[in-house]
Amino acid sequence: MPDYNSDYKILEPNADIDARRSYWAVGIGLQKIDGIDTSDYLDELIEDSLNGKYSTEEAVAQITRHYEHLDQSDPLVSTKEADLSAARIAKLLEYDDFKLSPITLKSIHKQLFADIFPDDVAGVFRDKSIAKEEPILGGLSVRYAAGHEVADYLVYDFEQELKARYYHPVDEKQAQQLTGFISRVWQTHPFFEGNTRSIVTFALKYMRSLGINVDNTLFQEHSAWFRNALVRANYSNIAKGISADAEPLQLFMNRVVLGHNFDPLTIDLHLKQEKSDT
């Protein structure tokens, strides 16, 4: 640290143990989006961290070293992505630093997936067009932004969101604006892999920056459902009589942002089979 007086202070991570436990739980829960599991080793490390043996930053370094020392043929390597990205999510959520910008989203992806994904994927907006078969759509795919349009769409959506005005208390109209922004960024799908995990981490930090008291439990317990709700909100097919349905996603976000009573398990997001047949 420079030895001089300053009106600025260095931001420290949130030291509240309940908040820190919640951030770890979110990090683990978000791995369900991609159907991957964290290890027992991570569970032990989390408890050591919460008991004061390690800071979250030190825990990230510890688990990084753990996987560096494993032989790549060791079956335990299979949990590397889940463990590292979960730990890095927890670390990012401990800090209140945030700027509403595509650069922030790109930086979050880089921080979560460096040394997990290749260098031309981690923290890099995709430049190829993509599709993904979705079980809830009977194998159909959301139409994502074309690779060459990703950066332009992000610039536009972020410019529009910067014009939005949020105020206390947050109401349903504001929750709808926020949900729409998150949904549009997700549908642009800036990254080849780790897209939803990065966007949720970004969204949680954004909502905190707005002073919104976020209910993290849904992301801990129902992150895969949340992704499926994003799929349904961004898929339509007029020829098959299918319209985009954003209501489940909005119900989810109304609980996250407004504290409304909502259980995701009451809604089955799968299309009816007769609509999804080719």
**What are the extents of the domains in the chain?**
13-95, 125-278
Q: 69-79 pLDDT, tens per residue?
A: 887 777 778 99
In CATH, what is the architecture of 125-278? Orthogonal Bundle (1.10)
Q: 232-267 pLDDT, tens per residue?
A: 999 999 888 899 999 999 999 999 999 999 999 999
Q: 166-183 pLDDT, tens per residue?
A: 999 999 999 999 999 999
User: What is the overall mean pLDDT for the chain?
Assistant: 94
**pLDDT, position 6:** 80
- Hey, what amino acid is at 49? S
pTM: 0.94
Rounded Cα distance between 197 and 89, Å, is 9
**pLDDT, position 76:** 79
The 8-class DSSP code of residue 53 comes to S
Q: 56-113 pLDDT, tens per residue?
A: 999 999 999 999 988 777 777 899 999 999 999 999 999 999 999 999 999 999 999 9
For tokens 């910008």, the residue is: 101
Buried b (16+ CB within 10 A) or exposed e, 65-103: ebbeeeeeeeeeeebbbbbbbbbbbbbbbbeeebebebe
Residue 15 has pLDDT above 90, yes or no: no
Specify the range with the lowest mean pLDDT, choosing from 6-20, 154-168, 182-196. Answer: 6-20
